[in-house]
Amino acid sequence: MLPIAVAFAIPALAQQPSAPPASAARPSAAAPSTARAAAPKARHAAAPKPPGAAPHGAHPTLLAQYAEWGAYTASPGGKKVCFALAKPAASQTIPPNRPRNPAYMFVSSRPADKVLHEVFIMIGYPFRPNAEATAEIGPTSFALSTLQDGAWIKNAGEEAHFVDAMRAGQTVVVKGMSSRGTQSVDTFSLKGFSQALERTDQECPHGQ
């Protein structure tokens, strides 16, 4: 099911410097919450409410900004969640200049659900069903599962390795194809990622 931090990603982005208006991305936020609720990944939380309908405590608080990555926390329904969040440093579509909502990536932890460093990417358009999508860090490519406009590491056993590679890498390059056949390449800078993740780990320590 959809990581609960998706409910906070849009308002969190609005807090970041040069972020697009929250209203620009809001139409895509509710769709994956329903779609991914049907995905066979049992350790994910139940689908959250869309932005604007968040329960008390759900609005994110920016803990600190580290280069391209922000560290955030929120407590929807009294359950604490922490996440590191970034927008792409560069985006490309083929054909060029195809309209799409903003993309972003985050890595979240939910101590109450014993979830640590869960990776999720929202790409800003509906993926083509059954089309391949990948996340590349240096020479290593990780397959992504996709549903509507969301993506996550296909092999859950590789998620910890992916996060370790993010700590050591320079960029993550996410490639996918929309339902209309548009190819996309989004490059996320990893500058500040390790610091942001360390800050979220301090706020949501594993094992609590």
The tens digit of pLDDT for each residue in 26-84 reads 223 333 333 333 343 433 333 333 333 333 456 899 999 999 999 999 998 888 999 99
86 and 188 Cβ atoms separated by less than 8 Å: yes
CA triple 65-70-73, angle to 5 deg: 110
Has residue 22 got a pLDDT over 60? no
Question: How many whole angstroms separate alpha carbon 133 and alpha carbon 102?
Answer: 17
pLDDT at 16: 52
* pTM for the structure as a whole: 0.77
Q: Which two tokens stand for residue 87?
A: 């927008």
Q: What number is the average pLDDT over the span 141-146?
A: 96
pLDDT band at 97 (very low <50, low <70, confident <90, very high): confident
In degrees rounded to 5, what are phi and psi of residue 3?
-60, 135
Q: What number is the average pLDDT over the span 89-104?
A: 93
Question: How many whole angstroms separate alpha carbon 91 and alpha carbon 113?
Answer: 33
All domains of the chain in start order, with CATH: 6-203 (2.60.40.1880)
